[in-house]
Structure 1
Amino acid sequence: MFKQKLTLCFVSLVLAACSDGGEAPTTAPEDVQAIFFEMKLPGGLEDAKQSGFTECTSSYYSYECKRPGKVALYGIEPLMVRVDLKAVESPAKISEYAGKDVRLVPQEALGYESIEAKFNDAVFDVDCENKVNSGTMSWPRPVQCIQNTGTTEQFVEALLKAGWVQTSKRRISEYVHKDEMVTINVYRDRDTVTIYKVERAVRDGLLRSYLERREEEMQKQEAASAVIEKMKSK
């Protein structure tokens, strides 16, 4: 019983703080934008400019706008960070210009919903891998065996050290943080990371599910250890 209460308290700490049963505080209005390393999202033309996405090229589908110079995300420098400006009336509603040549769209109707960061492909030291894995292949491959810098694997390691948690382990791994209003999607077979704004309720639900799964896994490990030790005892 005590352990269950402690676990529930720990879950609450990740989302807010343990309560003594008093009334919940009034929820602040949901922010329209999130800010990640001084970059706003979602946003419009002026938001993109203020966030540093000033080097743009145009195509039929979008304006691809990059941030010039070096950008460090948790100490890891991607090759490129960009937004794609497309036809939107607001961050959530596609406008009457959707599907048309973006170059015919008025500036006030341009916007973006996500930020993309492109990283280096990792180059692994095979001898290091064999030593770490005792000659067998493993997934994910050991980050300490990467020979170059600015890779997706190193960025993910930096995220985990900064307190982000992985809430999905499919082909797209999703990461959230209790103090951030964005979700970071990492694609297993790509070198591109996509950052989206996340609603507070969705973020908290993802964190809650993560903690519940972790607690269940700990319980299973404890139960298995108890059985194994019991079988060893005389």
Structure 2
Amino acid sequence: MAQILFVITAADRWTLADGTEHPTGFWAEEVVAPYQVLTEAGHRITVATPGAALPTVDQVSLAPESTGGPDRATAMRSALEAITELRHPLPLDQVDPDGFDALFYPGGHGPMEDLAADPASGALLTRALDAGTPLAVVCHGPAALLAATRPDGTNAFAGYRVAAFTNTEETRAGLAQDAPWLLQDRLTGAGLHVQEGEPWAPNVVTDRTLLTGQNPASSAPLADELLTHLS
């Protein structure tokens, strides 16, 4: 049985380019689907957030149009409520990565607000990378990779191939024009190589111990890929 740390955003707002705040949080499918895949395989999940704040789900991610219909929306809500670990997060800055066999970062726009510049998360990712610990990161979760910098200022993941929420998807979601920055652009600027797949279709990219998924549809396939690395 592996011990897996889910690092989840504590943000419930995303500050847009004009200074207004857009309600957000984590994306439900990106927590629920990996949690189910990993726990059904017998692994144990622990949750950590900045400041041990209770994570907020993005309500849009629970809407029928986001989940595939009213029945699936109801099932998603029920599955989310059953994840008791979400109600007892650890403080991120007190987490010892040596105590975990893998790290998983779900998305939602929340990580764009906090994890992208969180020094504790950046240090955690860098230590895990250097230790060879599998890292699984999905959708907007790769924003957290931006905080993983070396003493010389370079990004610890520079040169890695990754999947992440693309400019095309952000545009189709209707938020690109309001965003203070776009994830694909910022990752590219940090020296990472974004491997863009079809919008909204599953796309998982594996580069050494870094496993990344492009969008919510990539959540379960990413968890399956993590299982392969844990076996």
Q: TM tier, shorter chain?
A: under 0.3
Quick check: which has more Rg, 1 or 2? 1
Q: Which structure carries more relative contact order (alpha carbon 8 Å, separation 6+)?
A: 2
**Higher helix proportion (structure 1 or 2):** 2
**Higher strand proportion (structure 1 or 2):** 1
